[in-house]
Structure formats: structure tokens, C-alpha cells
């Protein structure tokens, strides 16, 4: 057993217990006052243990499995062998005080950690450079078990919105890194800590999602079974994984997958029609970067494949929208195809290949018109794929911003969470970058107009399917943040009722009521009431909601007080400290306050958290993410020069710089075009 998996717990906790089908005792431990919140995790965890014994066809090897809710815990969860530890907010759940998102997250984290009992514990990576296999596998397989026992989650679609979209942006920068790195790059503890990031977890999972789609689910599962049986109680490296997948499939998996794991980044596939015969197309691949002017000299990981990939990608047509055709693009080679004479062709079916696709303008217009005419002709995964690609390509100057903006005109008829969440991210980013610009009101009005029909349909009452409940907070956030008067009125009324009579608020909307109530009517007295309720609250999920509400005061002196109070561990647990600072930094009034506080108190942070703390290391990305001026960029450079030792924050520092440089360039390139479009089409 790896030493990092050893765990002893001494605690005055109670427990509830269940038995798996194979007779394994499964317990949930928590503080005695929290045991009433263990029914769902006990049910889900027991079923998950049964599921993976069957899925892997390998018995669970220990005599019991305990899952423990820790009041102050640095990670979301940790897979110690036979005893899994969690933050309380990631293990405990009840219908009255936990949100729809909380239920989904509890299931995903439990699934993730129980996967590790086989994948990471029974078979352990030889060294940390193969961490992606450990964490990427667990993140992908957690979707499979969640879909089995909570199909209403639509886990395969949720994977796109929760993980794929974000890491595509991260990996389109010159300061990304490969999912696999050389052993020599992860020798120091700071280097080990730093690689627990989105590339390992979300790109790693995306690579395995891609591989499972290529091989087929049953063949993929057979490969996992073979590896677990062949290497039980042993260590593995990435090539072992490819070997067992090759045995199961009869394919050269290493050749297929090495370009995706040994080099950072990913391709954009350009689709070009022959001007003499429009039904003949050429597919070409090229490395995709969000900022085409990025400084390539800052790259730390040279490509062994010259940024080319072995690509399998599928497409559908208007005549066959549910039967994909597969295309193989070998590294560095163009592919010529005869496309059928149909209304539209859509590449990257199901959004399963880790890439962007860029069409000629007439094909973008056809697909955009399809969304307007009948968006349900495409699955939610394909709709979010089109929206995400169009916005990313526009940001990279490969496409006019009019294309993705025209696509958003259909949104008043969109009712699925995943496409909405994908475009929510893009609209929120644009809104943040234009927030201090003179024509920002044009964007606000347009977003409210697009959101309003769906928002009116769902309303504030938390009813409907799981994904309708997941969509509601996104729509409320977009509507209230961009000035929808009715949205703000309802939030304020609910907030006032909660302040005066502690009226019950559904957990799905509670944090937004706190936020917009605090913005609208939150004075010093209201803040103090919320602070006292936070101090007396024992439910970890509700404490997070209250932390969020407190951070949205628009009074600078109150936010300064909050920063001082948060430093006291009697007020804010160490696990939550950077969450609180991130919430305050997300407040336009709080952002400059936190930036100054972060720089002024650097030595105190290092003393408490150490430079090895990855959450501390990544905070620079959060506090600077919306900077858009050369002045702020110079402040960052001066700060880096003053404190050159960043520890686990070395890569996040470079990524933060690249983000701010990209923000500055984005405004220079795109602000005028977006404002012109809003003048022309903002009321349509």
C-alpha cells in the first residue's frame, strides 16, 4: 500500500451502516448532529460499491469501507484505502437544506473516491507523473456510476458542462501542460502538489471519454478488468494502460493516444470546401490557441509531435442526424471527403473529440439557422458544442464575433441546461470584460431579453426535472446580474422575509437570494444579521451559501471587516478561507480590496498555508481573472518580482499573466465589433 493512502481517525463520531450485496460493511461517519443527513450517501455509496465490483469484475479487497465527513478538510475527498475522507459538504445531503447541485456533487465525489479503491489503491501509479491515470479515470468513471443510479442527472451531458468546457479553455494556452509529464518534472513536493489541476482531472477524463467512444463501452470495460487483474497489488505506468486496452481491442492504442497525452494543447479542424465542387471538402488540423499572439517562448513543455494529433472524429448530417460517420485524420495529414448534398453537416458528433471545429462561413450560417428554425434537431451535446466552438474561435480571431452572437438569438427557445450553461459561461466572460466600458448597458439589455422567456417559464419555484432545477440558478444569475427589475424585486422580497422571519428558502435559490438581496438592500445591520446566522450554522452547505451572501456587500468597509474576520480560524475554517476570498474578489467592489490585501499579506499567507498549498497557489488566477488594463498587468509583474518564489503557484502565475494579456488584447480587438452588433441586432 502506498504511504499516502494510510489513514487513522480518532473521533467522537456516530455512524450509519449498510451491507453490500457481497457482505461488505459500508458505514458513513459524521458528527452526531449530522447523522440525519446520511441516508442518501449511504444508499448511493453502498450501490456504488456493488456497481464497481460488478463493473470491474474484481472483488473489493478489504473487510469494510468507511466514509467519513470531516468538519475541516483541505481536499474535497481522499481515497484512503478502506476509509474515505470528505468535506462535510461533499458527503452529507438532505432534501430540506441541500441543493440539486449538492445532490449531484455528493454522488460524483462518492463515485470518484470509491473508484479509487480499485483504480489507484488496488493498482497504484508508479510515480506522480502518471497521476492523470489515477484522477482522470476516477473522474470519468464517476459519470458512469452516477448515470446508473441517478439517470435524471444526464451525467454524460453534465460532464460536458462541468468539466470539458472549462479545460478546453485552460488547454488552449501556452502555459498549459501535457496530462503526462516526465518523472523529472515532478520530484519536489511543490511540483507534485501543482499537478493536481484541471489538466490531470478534466483533460485526463476527456481523453478516456474519447477512448471509450473509439473502442466501445464493453471493450473499454474489458481493458480495465484485464489491467486490474493483471496488476493487482502492483504499480502501473501509462504504457501499461495502453497495453491492456490494446489487448482488449486489438488496436494500437498507444499510437492513437500518445499525441493526446504526451503534448499539451489540442487541434482545431478547419473544414474547407472546394470552390469548384462544394461537395468536396478538406479537413486540416492545426494547434488551437485562444490568444494567437501569445508568447510561445514561455512554453515549458515542448511537443514531441510538433503539435499534430492522431484524430478520430464523427459527423452527422441533416439526413442522418442520429447515425454518425467516423473520420480518421493521421498526424500531419489532410483528409479529403465527399460530403452529401444535404442542408447541413455537423462535425464532432456528441462533442466527444477534444478539439475545435471551424467551418466556412456559409456552413456556420446554416448551422446557426438550424438552431433558430429547430434547435431540437441537434442533441444538447451538439448544441453546446457549436456554441462553445463559435465563441472560442471568435476569441482566437478565426471567426467573426457576429457568428456566435447570431447563434445566441435562438436562446429564447432553449430549455436544456447544458447548452444554456455553455453559453452562460461565454456571456458571463464577455460581460465581465465589458463591465467598465461605456456601452455595457447594450449587452445587459440583450442578455436579459434572451434569458427572460426561459426564466419566466421556470420561475422561482423549485419544481421540475433535475436539469430544470440545475438551469434555474443560471437563468436567475444572468437575469439579476444584468439588471432584470423583476428578478431583483423577487430576490429582494425573499431576502427581506428571510431576514425578518427566517422564512424558508429553497437551497437551489438560497445563495442567489442572499447575493442579490445583499446587493439591493444589504446595509451594515443586514450584514450583521447574516454574519450571526453564519456563525451559528452547523450545516456545511448552508455555511457556504451564507459566506457567499456576506461577500456580496457593496460597502467597502464591510468587506474589509469580512477579510479580517475570515483570518480568524474560529470564524472561517482553513478549508474555506480561499473560498471566502474568492467570493469577495468576484464582487466588483471587493476585487481591488482583495487584490491589495493579497499582496500586502503575502508573508502571513506563506506562514500559514506554505508555498506547497495548491489552493493558495492558484488564487492568483481568481483574483486577477478580470483584469483588463496594462496598469494591472504591471502590478502583477511587480508583485512577482517582489516575491519570486511561488512554490505550487508557479504555473498558475504564468497562466494568470497569459489570461490578463489575453483580456487586454481581447478588448482591443473585439469591443467595437460586439458593440456594433448589439446596436444592429440587440433588440431582435
551-604 per-position pLDDT tens digit? 999 999 999 999 999 999 999 999 999 999 999 999 999 999 999 999 999 999
- Grid cell at residue 458: 421556470
What residue ranges of the chain have pLDDT lower than 50? none
Q: What pLDDT score does 228 carry?
A: 97
Q: What pLDDT score does 681 carry?
A: 87
Cα separation values, 572 from 220, 511, 616, 654, Å: 44, 18, 15, 29
Q: What pLDDT score does 684 carry?
A: 67
Q: What pLDDT score does 677 carry?
A: 95
Sign of CA dihedral 178, 182, 185, 188: positive
- Residues marked active site are found at 113
Helix (H) or strand (E) holding 329: strand 320-329
Q: What pLDDT score does 403 carry?
A: 96
- Whether the CB-CB separation of 333 and 325 falls below 8 Å is answered with no
Which residue, chain included where needed, has cell 481522499? Answer: 78
Q: What pLDDT score does 253 carry?
A: 98
Exposure on the CB side of residue 116, measured as CA atoms within 13 A: 27
Amino acid at each position: 500500500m502506498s504511504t499516502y493512502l494510510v489513514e487513522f481517525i480518532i473521533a467522537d463520531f456516530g455512524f450509519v451502516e449498510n451491507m453490500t450485496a457481497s457482505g461488505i460493511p459500508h458505514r458513513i461517519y459524521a458528527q452526531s448532529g449530522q447523522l440525519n443527513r446520511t441516508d442518501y450517501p449511504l444508499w448511493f455509496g453502498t450501490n456504488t460499491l456493488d456497481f464497481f465490483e460488478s463493473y470491474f469484475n474484481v472483488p473489493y479487497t478489504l473487510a469494510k469501507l468507511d466514509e467519513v465527513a470531516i468538519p475541516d478538510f483541505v481536499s474535497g475527498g481522499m481515497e484512503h484505502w478502506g476509509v474515505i475522507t470528505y468535506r462535510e459538504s461533499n458527503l452529507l445531503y438532505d432534501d430540506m437544506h441541500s441543493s440539486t447541485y449538492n445532490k449531484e456533487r455528493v454522488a460524483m465525489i462518492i463515485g470518484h473516491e470509491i473508484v479509487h479503491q480499485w483504480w489507484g489503491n488496488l493498482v497504484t501509479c508508479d510515480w506522480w507523473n502518471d497521476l492523470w491515470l489515477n484522477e482522470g479515470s476516477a473522474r470519468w468513471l464517476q459519470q458512469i456510476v452516477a448515470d446508473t443510479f441517478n439517470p435524471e442527472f444526464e451525467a454524460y451531458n453534465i460532464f460536458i458542462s462541468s468539466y470539458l468546457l472549462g479545460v478546453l479553455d485552460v488547454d488552449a494556452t501556452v502555459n498549459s501542460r501535457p496530462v503526462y509529464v516526465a518523472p523529472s518534472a515532478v520530484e519536489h513536493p511543490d511540483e507534485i502538489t501543482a499537478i493536481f489541476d484541471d489538466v490531470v482531472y478534466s483533460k485526463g477524463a476527456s481523453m478516456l471519454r474519447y477512448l471509450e467512444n473509439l473502442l466501445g463501452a464493453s471493450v473499454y470495460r474489458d481493458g480495465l478488468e484485464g489491467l486490474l487483474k493483471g496488476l493487482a497489488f502492483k504499480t502501473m505506468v501509462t504504457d501499461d494502460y495502453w497495453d491492456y486496452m490494446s489487448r482488449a481491442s486489438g488496436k494500437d492504442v498507444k499510437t492513437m493516444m500518445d499525441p493526446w497525452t504526451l503534448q499539451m494543447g489540442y487541434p482545431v479542424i478547419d473544414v474547407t470546401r472546394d470552390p469548384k465542387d462544394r461537395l468536396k471538402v478538406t479537413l486540416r488540423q492545426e494547434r488551437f490557441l485562444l490568444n494567437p499572439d501569445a508568447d510561445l517562448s514561455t512554453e515549458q513543455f515542448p511537443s514531441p509531435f510538433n503539435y499534430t494529433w492522431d484524430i478520430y472524429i464523427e459527423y452527422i448530417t441533416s439526413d442522418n442526424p442520429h447515425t454518425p460517420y467516423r473520420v480518421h485524420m493521421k498526424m500531419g495529414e489532410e483528409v479529403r471527403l465527399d460530403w452529401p448534398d444535404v442542408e447541413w453537416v455537423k462535425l464532432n458528433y456528441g462533442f466527444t473529440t477534444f478539439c475545435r471545429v471551424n467551418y466556412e462561413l456559409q456552413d456556420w450560417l446554416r448551422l446557426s439557422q438550424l438552431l433558430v428554425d429547430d434547435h431540437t434537431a441537434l442533441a444538447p451535446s451538439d448544441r453546446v458544442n457549436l456554441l462553445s466552438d463559435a465563441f472560442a474561435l471568435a476569441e482566437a480571431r478565426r471567426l467573426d464575433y457576429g457568428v456566435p452572437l447570431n447563434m445566441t438569438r435562438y436562446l429564447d427557445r432553449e430549455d436544456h441546461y447544458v447548452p444554456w450553461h455553455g453559453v452562460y459561461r461565454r456571456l458571463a466572460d464577455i460581460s465581465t470584460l465589458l463591465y467598465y466600458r461605456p456601452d455595457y448597458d447594450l449587452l445587459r439589455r440583450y442578455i436579459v431579453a434572451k434569458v427572460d422567456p426561459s426564466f419566466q417559464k421556470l420561475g422561482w419555484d423549485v419544481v421540475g426535472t433535475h436539469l430544470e432545477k440545475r438551469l434555474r440558478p443560471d437563468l436567475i444569475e444572468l437575469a439579476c446580474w444584468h439588471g432584470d427589475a423583476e428578478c431583483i424585486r423577487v430576490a429582494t422580497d425573499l431576502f427581506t422575509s428571510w431576514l425578518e422571519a427566517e422564512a424558508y428558502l429553497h437551497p437551489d435559490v438560497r445563495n442567489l437570494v442572499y447575493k442579490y438581496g445583499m446587493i439591493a438592500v444589504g446595509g451594515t445591520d443586514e450584514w450583521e444579521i447574516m454574519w450571526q446566522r453564519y456563525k451559528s450554522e452547523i450545516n456545511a452547505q448552508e455555511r457556504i451559501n451564507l459566506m457567499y451572501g456576506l461577500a456580496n456587500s457593496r460597502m467597502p468597509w464591510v468587506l474589509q471587516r469580512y477579510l479580517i474576520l475570515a483570518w480568524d480560524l474560529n470564524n472561517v475554517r482553513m478549508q474555506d478561507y480561499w473560498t471566502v476570498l474568492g467570493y469577495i474578489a468576484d464582487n466588483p467592489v471587493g476585487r481591488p480590496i482583495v487584490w491589495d490585501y493579497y499582496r500586502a499579506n503575502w508573508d502571513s499567507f506563506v506562514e500559514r498555508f506554505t508555498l506547497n498549498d495548491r489552493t493558495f497557489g492558484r488564487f492568483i488566477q481568481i483574483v486577477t481573472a478580470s483584469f483588463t488594463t496594462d496598469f494591472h498587468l504591471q502590478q502583477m509583474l511587480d508583485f512577482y518580482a517582489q516575491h519570486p518564489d511561488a512554490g505550487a503557484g508557479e504555473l498558475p502565475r504564468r497562466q494568470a499573466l497569459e489570461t490578463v494579456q489575453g483580456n487586454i488584447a481581447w478588448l482591443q480587438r473585439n469591443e467595437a465589433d460586439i458593440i456594433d452588433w448589439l446596436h444592429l441586432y440587440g433588440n431582435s
